[in-house]
Amino acid sequence: MTPPAAREEIPITADEDVVRVRQAVRSYAQKAKLSLVDQTKLVTATSELARNTLTYGGGGTAVVEFLTEGRRSGVRASFQDDGPGIPDVDLALTDGWTSGRGMGLGLSGARRLVDEFTLDTGAGQGTTVTVVKWSR
């Protein structure tokens, strides 16, 4: 009855790895029976986070996991890098704020698109962002 525990690790070192992350997340989201809207929200959120890992974290690793809890299933994706970290989390989570040349909506937007969002970072500590989306 219980589906097999599934987990995939994807190194993020180049542009095409972001595509790879999106593809993996989409197939996990389908397996978790997320609706099309939720699949798209999760894929888009992870696309943002993977790109941040690459652009600001200097590369890192994505881990995509299939979750079950009672009757619901879900997907957890985490993005870890050993880059410079984020010194001011509130600022980074402000809509429209970017230290680079982006739209500044990746972090804050990703947080709105998922069910659970945790950000573990600090100046000089690297960054780990974990998101979860559940089937409903």
Partner 1 sequence: MTTGPEPTDNLAALLRAGTGALTRRWIELAAAPLRGRLTVAELERELTELFRALVAAVESGSRDLQSEPYAEVRALLSDMSRHRARSGFTPTETAVGVFTLKQALFELVDRAEIEGDLREVLAFSLLLDALGLLTFETYAKAREEVIDEQAEQLLELTTPVVKVWEGVLAVPLVGTLDSARTQVVMEKLLESLVGSGAEHAIIDITGVLAVDTQVAQHLLKTVMAARLMGAECTISGIRPHIAQTIVGLGIEFGDITTKATLADALRHALTRSGVTISSGRG
Q: Give the binding site for ligand ADP (CB under 6 A).
A: 48, 52-53, 56-57, 81, 83-86, 92, 98-100, 102-108, 127
If the CB atoms of residues 95 and 115 are measured against ligand ADP, the closer one turns out to be 95
Q: Is 119 in the site for partner 1 (CB under 8 A)?
A: no
Q: What are phi and psi of 86, to 5 degrees?
A: -110, 115
CA distance 37 to 39: 5
Q: Is 133 in the site for partner 1 (CB under 8 A)?
A: no
One character per residue 41-70, x = contact with Mg ion (rule: CB under 5 A): -----------x------------------
Q: Do 83 and 126 form a contact (C-beta atoms < 8 A)? A: yes
- Three-class DSSP category at 79: strand
CA distance 40 to 22: 10
Q: Is 26 in the site for partner 1 (CB under 8 A)?
A: yes
* Residue 19 Cβ vs ligand ADP, minimum distance, rounded to whole Å: 17
Give burial (CB, 10 Å; 0-12/13-18/19+) of 109: middle
If the CB atoms of residues 14 and 103 are measured against ligand ADP, the closer one turns out to be 103
Half-sphere exposure for 3 (CA within 13 Å, toward CB) = 16
If the CB atoms of residues 31 and 122 are measured against partner 1, the closer one turns out to be 31
If the CB atoms of residues 58 and 102 are measured against Mg ion, the closer one turns out to be 102
